[in-house]
Structure 1
Amino acid sequence: MIDDQEFQEAFRVAIELIAQPLFAAAAGKADTQGVVCSLENACDEPGYPSLCLRINPLNPSRHSSYTLRADSAQRTVIHQQAFNDGQEIKTLDASIDSINRTVIETELATFFEKAAHCDLQSADKPEGF
């Protein structure tokens, strides 16, 4: 079993090298479709970073967010999506391995579709497709 220090380091590296670039790319694609986003880094627990992508941060009554944070007691990652200022919350409690391109891109696409009716995949397609 992975110890706390190993989990903390693996989580920090996964956030910095995998999740943050994917969150930033998604925010950039959404921006081209007129969706206002902000990306925030914080520390939820001593030494544990968290990453939060907010949609409509200028309108608190309508903002939605996708947050990645660690549950150090369980040594898991919590993917939490909150819609309409937290009126609806979707939580995925998963292993550290869930911070990968496939999971994050799938979760981001679902999040943007539900929160802002924004199709991130269409931003990748050339005009005419």
Structure 2
Amino acid sequence: MINQPRIEPAFREELLHALVDCVAQHFEEAADYAHANGLQASMQLRNETQAELKLTLRRPSDGTPCCYRITSVPDSHLVLHEKSYGRDVQRLQAPLDSINHTLVETELAAFFIKAAALPLDYIAERHQPGFF
């Protein structure tokens, strides 16, 4: 029998709450923006052994998916912000309070620039010049 990484139930619930209450609205808004700009985008929320929210982008010109996901780090009280661009993967482990509107918007803006060379203009309009 293989041991599954352990996620404390209370932490998992806090993470799920943060994903639903904070991140989902930003991922949804970004997916809508991607569609309006000719990209394929999908969002997936999983709540199995680990809570996870994932946004996937694809350009019609190539089939390589780019993903930004937020999930828990097993055996810790940390979350993982992971952005993948084909074989290039960037990971950032951070405390649960890293799931906030400002950080998520910053990470989404960087993700869209690298994944599709598409600036999220609506985010820039909400912040002071030089935000990202």
Report the TM-score, using the length of structure 1 for normalisation: 0.81
Q: SS state of the match for residue 14, structure 2?
A: helix
Task: Give per-residue Cα distances to partners, 1:46-100, cap 9 Å, x unaligned.
Answer: 2x3211110118788411100111114111100000002xx10000100000110
1:91-102 → structure 2 map (5 Å cutoff): 91-102=91-102
Write out the 4+ residue segments of structure 1 that deviate beyond 3 Å after TM superposition. Answer: 57-61, 122-125
Counterparts of 2:42 and 2:60, CA distance in 1? 10
- Match for 2:43: what amino acid? L
AA in 2 matched with 1:18:
C
**Match among 64, 67, 72 for residue 65 of structure 1:** 67
TM-score normalised by length of structure 2: 0.80
Deviation per CA, 1:74-127: give whole Å up to 9, x if none. Answer: 11100000002xx100001000001100000000000011001111125876xx
User: CA-atom RMSD, angstroms?
Assistant: 2.3
**Are 2:38 and 2:60, in contact at CA under 8 Å, matched by a contact in 1?**
no
Q: Which residue of 2 aligns with 1:113?
A: 113
CA deviation after TM superposition for structure 1 residue 5, in Å: 3.2
1:82 to 49, 67, 84: 84
CA contact 2:38–2:59 (8 Å) conserved in 1: no
Which runs of 5 or more residues in structure 2 are unaligned?
A: 1-6, 126-132
Write the distance in 1 (CA, Å) between the matches of 2:36 and 2:66.
Answer: 18
Q: Of 49, 52, 60, which residue of structure 1 is paired with 2:54?
A: 52
Q: Contact conserved, 1:29 with 1:123, CA < 8 A, in 2?
A: no
1:6 shift after superposition: 2.7
Give the 3 Å change call, closer, same or farther, for CA 53–69 of structure 1 in structure 2: same
Structure 1 match to 2:130: none
Residue 40 (structure 1) aligned with residue 69 (structure 2): no
Asked if structure 2 preserves the Cα contact closer than 8 Å seen for 1:56 and 1:63, the reply is: yes
Paired with 1:97 and 1:74, the residues of 2 have a C-alpha distance of: 14
